Amino acid sequence: MIRTQALRVFVAVADCGNISDAAEILGRTASAVSMTLKQLELHLGAPLFETDRKHTLTVLGHEVRTLARELLRDHDHAIERMTAMAAGREGALRIAAVPSVAAQLLPPILTAMLADHSGIRIELLDTDSASVHMLIATGEVELGIGGAPEPGAGLQFVPLFNDPFRLVCRKDHPLAQARSPLRRQDLRGHRLISNKSTAGFSGLEDGGLDVGSTLSARNVISLLALVRAGAGATILPALATLSIDDTLCSLALDDATALRTVGFILRQTGSPSPICVAFQTRFLAMIRADGVSSSTEAGAPGYLSPQL
């Protein structure tokens, strides 16, 4: 078997035209270089140089140098890519995130990653938490960001921040005049448009008051369009209300339990790829830069202290 290092020694000698200069470039002794060349020629069964002075290549030597240069170039490029992948500077990452996180938090992080490392590829899917869990469980994506999965789902959940629910309505809606956080009884008698973001939270399903809602929407854009058209009010996580237009308002709820905890979702088995780890590190750095707090302020997510 011909070792890569032997070919590297041969190319250096062939380029320099002598052993001493090649040995200095390679950081090896002249005798070690000479021995490596002899072993290479013995393995090939033919000489690579016309004389012992090593300044003239044989016909075979010319061909071997051409092939060796190509092999070493490909070898070095492959090693560079492996190193870059191991450091999270190359590779592919598929992320599934709830729409509010995908729209409000991920754009600057993904833009920075792509600017720093042109060799990475990222695919982002925005969907509700239940679909995020399914995409992780089936292996279609490597990392999810959303609500906590059900126990026993075979998924790992790393909590990141608490996001309080808020009521979104038009500014001419009767509830828009409230001067204090809304109680549940304040919502009675008002049409609420249900949506997937509150699924699983006691008292907020089906429009907010444990009664069947006559209207529901899954897509946030469609949901807000319905609210804007006067079809009713809705309840959304605070993060999803940051970009509502000036015809709508976002009102706090007088219920400390009315919140969702958002976190990383991964499969319990297997190790995350280096690029996935690099992304998580950036995401955590952004959260910490915004201020780590275990309390939730009205109208803004409260950040936790995740342990990865």
Structural contact between residues 96 and 136, judged by C-beta atoms closer than 8 angstroms? yes
| pLDDT tens-place string over residues 48-99 | 999 888 889 999 999 999 999 999 988 888 887 787 777 777 788 999 999 9
Cα dihedral 248, 250, 254, 255, rounded to 10, equals 120
Structural contact between residues 61 and 17, judged by C-beta atoms closer than 8 angstroms? no
SS3 10: helix
**Mean pLDDT score of the chain:** 86
Structural contact between residues 195 and 267, judged by C-beta atoms closer than 8 angstroms? no
Task: Over range 147-174, report the average pLDDT.
Answer: 93
Neighbouring-strand partners of residue 125? 96
Structural contact between residues 167 and 235, judged by C-beta atoms closer than 8 angstroms? yes
Looking at the predicted structure, is the pLDDT value of residue 100 above 70? yes
Q: State the amino acid at position 26 in one-letter form.
A: L
Residue 80: its pLDDT value, please? 77
From the list 247, 220, 231, the residue with the least C-alpha distance to 104 is: 220
Q: Which ranges constitute the DSSP H helices of the chain?
A: 4-16, 19-26, 30-44, 59-86, 99-104, 106-116, 129-137, 184-187, 220-228, 274-289
| pLDDT tens-place string over residues 16-49 | 999 999 999 999 999 999 999 999 999 999 999 9
Per-residue b or e along 62-73, where b marks 16 or more CB atoms closer than 10 Å to that residue's CB:
eebbeebeeebe
| pLDDT tens-place string over residues 133-145 | 999 999 999 999 9
Q: Residue 145 — φ and ψ, nearest 5°?
A: -135, 115
Domains of the chain: 4-86 (1.10.10.10), 90-160+260-303 (3.40.190.10), 165-259 (3.40.190.10)
Cα dihedral 268, 272, 278, 284, rounded to 10, equals 0
Residue 162: its pLDDT value, please? 93
Q: pLDDT-based confidence at 293, cuts 50/70/90? A: very low
Structural contact between residues 304 and 294, judged by C-beta atoms closer than 8 angstroms? yes
* Residue entry with tokens 């060796």: 68
